[in-house]
Structure 1
Amino acid sequence: MATTYASMLDLWGACPVTALELIEVARNPDHTPWGNAGEELIRRHLLEEDGTMRDAVRRIVLSSSTGEGMNTTLTHPVKS
């Protein structure tokens, strides 16, 4: 859990659009990430090679994110 959350925080700082795509995939498994976001999420092991998200990652992403779009905030999943 800590590694996934740390990766999310790093992603949020480096490329917020890709972080938002991660959250969207967690909320909607049928969502196709925009641009090269999917490749970046696979590289960071937040998505599987086939573009799917493991249930454990999905739970962490959903429990640590609130809001929509650029109004999204991240909080530690244990504290949320």
Structure 2
Amino acid sequence: MTAQEAEDFLRTYRSMLKTWTMAVAGFSNDDSDLLYRQLEADQNVLADIAISYPEKSYSVDLLINSRSRTWAGYAEQRLPRPQNRQS
């Protein structure tokens, strides 16, 4: 994997992480379980990028920690949001 391919992968992973976060928070109808499994499967690639490109290891750490932190709750466990809430 070239440095550009690694950067492209990080960009794609970051986008998928955002999509998953929106699904978990209840802001989208995407399948959060499917997205999570894909994020989990791609974690090995992140590790390879961190080893091959040490200058990208901080970005890799941020992405892994963002995915693995404890969430306040999944959409079905959260209280309903007010209808007039501005986003």
TM-score scaled to structure 1, two decimals? 0.33
Larger Rg: 2
The structure richer in helix per residue is: 2
Q: TM-score, normalised by structure 2?
A: 0.31
